[in-house]
A and B are shown apart, each in its own frame.
Chain A
Amino acid sequence: MDLFFSLTVNGLATGMLIFLLAAGLTLIFGLMDVLNFAHGGLFVWGAFSGVWVYDLTGSFWLGIVGAIITGLILGAIIEYLIIRPVYGNHVQQILITLGLMLVLSELIKVVFGPDQKAATAPEYLQGSFMVGDVILIKYRLFIILVGFIVFGVTSLILKRTRIGLIVRAGVMNKEMVQTLGVNIRLVFMLVFMVGAAMAALGGMLMAPYSGVIYAEMGLEFGILAFIVVVIGGMGSFSGSLLAAILVGLAQAYMAYYVPALSLAVNMLLMTVVLIFRPQGLFRVGVK
């Protein structure tokens, strides 16, 4: 039972990292109808810039702030220069964002060097404690906590503030939102920046979790995030949390109980969901 509990905590922690990446992706797709295959690049840039600030200052929290700022700035630049000219054209979006993903990964090597980088959690987040017979690793619990905080705060903003209402309305019918006096282009940029910042935060949290970071990890996590977005329902924020947790847990359990299936489990999960609920677990509101 304690093994099962440990696997669950591991799965939840991985799920939360994927959620941070997928949450931005789902909002960007839902609101802006943009298929952003470069989203994983923002994850990896968050990881490298955050670890760089962390190494430079010795402060893990400043590292997190650095990653978030990197995400916000990169998000603004990418939305303005790369995404804006291809709104409404999925083929162009796929081509240009796939290209951007490669550029972002290679630029990591130019800026931070070609080697993998090691990262450790700050001392106060290292180690573990026992609850009964179960060993709980502090850093994993920290990731789970951060994931839920990000979910809670973002949900609150989406539900209780006017900008949140506008984003939710925009996901359902962006044309109508404009005719109500909302500058949707500004909202697009804001959502893209926030999505990029969430991905960058995920990357920074990932660094001490895996111990090493490398330029190609964005692509690996980017694919997972896309699976999560499809399972959760494209455009659904709550759906992305549930789907990310499902994917994280499925990976953790399968890797231990059925290792042969561990690589295929996400695709299987997506296939099952698509067969029974083609619109994903959560359906975004009708127009």
Chain B
Amino acid sequence: MMSTLLELNNVQTHINQFHILHDISFEVPKGEVTVLLGRNGAGKTTTLRSIMGLNPPTEGTVSYKGQVINKWKPHMIARNGIGYVPEDQGIFGDLTVGENIRVAMQKEDETTTEHLEWVLELFPDLKKFWKKPGGQLSGGQKQMLAIARAYVNDNELLLIDEPSKGLAPIIVEKVMESILYMKEKTTIVLVEQNFMMASKIGDSFHIIDDGKTVHNGMMSDLKQDKNLMKKYLGIA
């Protein structure tokens, strides 16, 4: 049986005076890809930001490897093995590709070197444009860099927010391929609007609606449930 790597229990998050997350509860089994689905504004991105400590929960618990991490600062959460790829990719525009990756490398040991070699093999464009400023990369290349940066450390869990957003279909394929590769080595929580991509990568899913987790199950089952897809995802 799969062990649980991350668990959210009745997480509620406020941003200023706004109550964004009302009740988010789900478990992330180790070694799987858990997909968070939902319409725009449902609270998927805030959920990832709450896990990462960027918008800390005001109620409920986030447990990672059995430890409650609600009160931890984002850098502590990152140092404990959670990598984050934000929706806007968070590329440092003035830094070169190499520098973007160097900032991310928490240490330079055998594992990170191995990870770096692996991502450069996976994304040859990053090697090609190693000295090019991050701000001058195409949308797809920026996404590759953001994923590489999160993966280069020995992270046990990756939180990836809408990796296909704004990318051409051919680039989406490439990004999807890379996440499928990473799936073999790490656990992933994926927020994705592109249902085709989510269904190909995901093992299990949780639907978030109006700041609450309203439904969950295996991805293979969701594809059969047209009513559920229409009700919560607007997919006919």
Chain A residues in contact with chain B, CB under 8 A? Answer: 162, 165-166, 168-169, 172-173, 175-184, 284-287
On whether A181 and B93 interact (CB within 8 A), knowing A285-B135, A286-B135, the answer reads no
With A179-B52, A179-B54 as contacts: A169 and B78 at CB distance below 8 Å: no
Contact among B90, B99, B133, B153 with A176 in the assembled complex (CB-CB below 8 Å): B90
Among B74, B106, B133, contact of A285 (Cβ-Cβ < 8 Å): B133
B99 surroundings in chain A (CB, below 8 A): 165, 168-169
User: By the criterion CB–CB under 8 Å, are A179 and B74 in contact?
Assistant: yes
The residues of B that contact A169 with a CB separation of less than 8 Å are 92, 95, 99-100, 103
Once bound together, how far apart are the Cα atoms of A168 and B100, in whole Å? 10
CB distance from B143 to the nearest CB of A (A): 14
* Contact of B79 with A by CB under 8 A: yes
- Cβ-defined contact, A173 with B92, below 8 A: yes
A172, B93: Cβ atoms closer than 8 Å: yes
User: Residues of A contacting B86 with CB < 8 Å?
Assistant: 176, 179
Listed by A's residue number, 21 A-B pairs whose Cβ atoms lie within 8 Å are A165-B99, A165-B103, A168-B95, A169-B100, A172-B92, A176-B86, A176-B90, A178-B73, A178-B78, A179-B54, A180-B104, A181-B75, A181-B104, A285-B92, A285-B93, A285-B94, A285-B95, A285-B133, A286-B93, A286-B94, A287-B92
B residues apposed to A, CB below 8 Å: 52, 54, 73-75, 77-79, 84, 86, 88, 90-95, 99-100, 102-104, 106, 133, 135, 149, 153
Most chain A CB atoms below 10 A, which of B73, B90, B95, B102? B90
CB < 8 Å neighbour of B93 from A166, A178, A287: A287
Known: A162-B102, A287-B88. A183 touches B75 (CB 8 A): yes
Query: 7 closest pairs, A vs B, by CB?
Result: A285-B94, A176-B90, A285-B93, A181-B78, A286-B93, A178-B74, A179-B84
Q: Given the complex, which residues of A lie within 8 Å of B84, measured CB to CB?
A: 179
Residues of the B chain whose Cβ atoms lie less than 8 Å from the Cβ of A284: 94
Known: A169-B103, A181-B106. A175 touches B93 (CB 8 A): no
With a cutoff of 8 Å between Cβ atoms, the chain B residues found around residue A182 in the complex are: 75, 103
Name the residue in B54, B92, B149 with the highest tally of chain A Cβ atoms < 10 Å from its Cβ. B92
Residues of A within 8 A of B93 (CB): 172, 285-287
Given A162-B102, A165-B103, answer yes or no on A179-B90 (Cβ-Cβ < 8 Å): yes
| A177, A178, A180, A284, most chain B CB atoms within 10 A | A180
Q: Which of A173, A179, A287 contacts B78 (CB 8 A)?
A: A179
Cβ-defined contact, B94 with A184, below 8 A? no
Q: Which residue of A lies closest to B134 (CB)?
A: A285
8 other contacts beyond A168-B94, A169-B103, A181-B104, with CB at 8 A cut-off? A162-B102, A165-B103, A172-B93, A172-B94, A175-B90, A180-B103, A181-B78, A285-B92
Closest A residue to B102 by CB, please name it: A165
Q: How far is the CA of A181 from the CA of B75 in the complex (A)?
A: 4
- A162 and B104 alpha carbons, distance in the complex (Å): 10
A contact residues around B106 at 8 Å (CB): 180-181
Give Cα distance in the complex from A169 to B73, angstroms. Answer: 19
User: Do the beta carbons of A175 and B54 come within 8 Å of each other?
Assistant: yes
A181 and B82 alpha carbons, distance in the complex (Å): 9
Q: Which residues of A contact B133 (CB under 8 A)?
A: 285
B100 contacts across to A, CB distance below 8 A: 169
- Minimal beta-carbon separation of A235 from chain B (angstroms): 10
Of A176, A178, A184, the residue contacting B92 (CB under 8 A) is: A176
Residues of A within 8 A of B104 (CB): 180-181
Q: In the bound complex, do residue B90 and residue A173 qualify as a contact, i.e. CB atoms below 8 Å apart?
A: yes
Contacts of B78 in A (CB 8 A): 178-181
How many angstroms from the CA of A175 to the CA of B86 in the assembled complex? 10
For A176, what are the chain B residues with a Cβ–Cβ distance below 8 Å?
A: 86, 90, 92
B155 to chain A minimum Cβ distance, whole angstroms, is 10
- Cα distance, A3 to B77, chains bound together (Å): 61
User: Is the Cβ of B73 less than 8 Å from the Cβ of A183?
Assistant: yes
CB distance from B90 to the nearest CB of A (A): 4
- In the assembled complex, the Cα of A57 lies from the Cα of B104 at a distance in Å of 46
Report if A165-B88 is in contact (Cβ < 8 Å); known contacts: A175-B54, A286-B135: no
With A and B bound together, what is the CA distance between A106 and B94 in angstroms? 41
Interfacial chain A residues near B90, Cβ < 8 Å: 173, 175-176, 179, 287
Q: Which of A166, A284, A286 has the most CB of B within 10 A?
A: A286
**With A179-B52, A285-B133 in contact, do A168 and B92 touch (Cβ < 8 Å)?**
yes
